[in-house]
């Protein structure tokens, strides 16, 4: 994989912290579990040893995946984000035309999406439908439940 992963400064910091946690806390913990299981004798019938080795493999796979993401990460400079059209990192206030319900979302990289905090992934149907549009535009967006119509009220 050579695709860049766009990430905010906060997202990059969280990714680094997670990798450090896995390397410095989880890896030694699993090593101790393997050593303790090895001390119990015959490894061919030792379920604890097999489980610890499997956990080690899963952990190393996760560390490798996160390190790959980190190596491909490109930090987005939030101070240079244009607000004339909807783009990644913009906050967008939209109104659902069918029920006049107003919502505000921030469009973020997929790894930082959290709907409860109002952060939707750039590759979500709503974000993809809003990208490139301007204040006052009305957009029809196909979502899993059908077609929804939104009006863009504000971009920041």
Q: Which of 75, 95, 111 is the last residue of a domain?
A: 75
Q: Which residue has the higher pLDDT, 40 or 154?
A: 154
pLDDT at residue 152 above 90?
A: yes
User: Which region among 39-53, 114-128, 129-143 has the lowest average model confidence (pLDDT)?
Assistant: 39-53
HEC profile of the chain:
CCCCEEECHHHHHHHHHHHHHHHHHHHHHHHHHHHHHHHCCCHHHCHHHHHHHHHHHHHHHHHHHHHHHHHHEEECCHHHCCCCCCCCCCEEEEEECCCCCEEEEEEECHHHCEHHHCEEECCCHHHHHHCCCCCCCEEEEEECCEEEEEEEEEEC
**Average pLDDT of the segment spanning 95-121:** 91
What token pair was written down for 59? Answer: 């952990």
Residues 2-42 have pLDDT tens digits of 587 888 888 899 999 999 999 999 999 999 998 888 887 77
Q: Which of 54, 75, 96 is the last residue of a domain?
A: 75
| Residue 145 binned pLDDT confidence (cut-offs 50, 70, 90) | confident
Mean pLDDT of the chain: 89
The whole domain housing 48 covers 5-75
Look at the chain and report how many structural domains it folds into.
2
Residues 68-103 have pLDDT tens digits of 989 988 888 777 777 888 988 899 999 999 899 999
What CATH number should be reported for the domain holding residue 94? 3.10.50.30
Using N-to-C axis directions, what is the helix angle for 9-21 and 47-72, rounded to 10°?
150
pLDDT at residue 123 above 80?
A: yes
pTM: 0.68
At residue 2, the pLDDT reads: 56
Same domain, 142 and 83: yes
| Residue 1 binned pLDDT confidence (cut-offs 50, 70, 90) | very low
Same domain, 64 and 95: no
């Amino acid at each position: 994989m050579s695709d860049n992963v766009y990430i905010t400064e906060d997202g990059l910091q969280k990714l680094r912290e997670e990798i450090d946690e896995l390397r410095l806390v989880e890896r030694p913990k699993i090593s101790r579990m393997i050593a303790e299981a090895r001390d119990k004798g015959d490894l061919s019938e030792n379920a604890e040893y097999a489980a610890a080795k499997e956990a080690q493999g899963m952990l190393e796979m996760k560390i490798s995946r996160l390190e790959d993401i980190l190596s491909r990460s490109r930090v987005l400079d939030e101070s240079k984000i244009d607000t004339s059209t909807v783009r990644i990192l913009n906050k967008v206030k939209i109104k659902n035309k069918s029920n006049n319900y107003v919502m505000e979302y921030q469009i973020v990289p997929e790894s930082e999406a959290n709907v409860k905090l109002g952060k939707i992934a750039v590759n979500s149907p709503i974000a993809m439908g809003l990208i490139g549009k301007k204040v006052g535009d009305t957009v029809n967006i196909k979502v899993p439940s059908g077609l929804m119509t939104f009006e863009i009220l504000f971009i920041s």
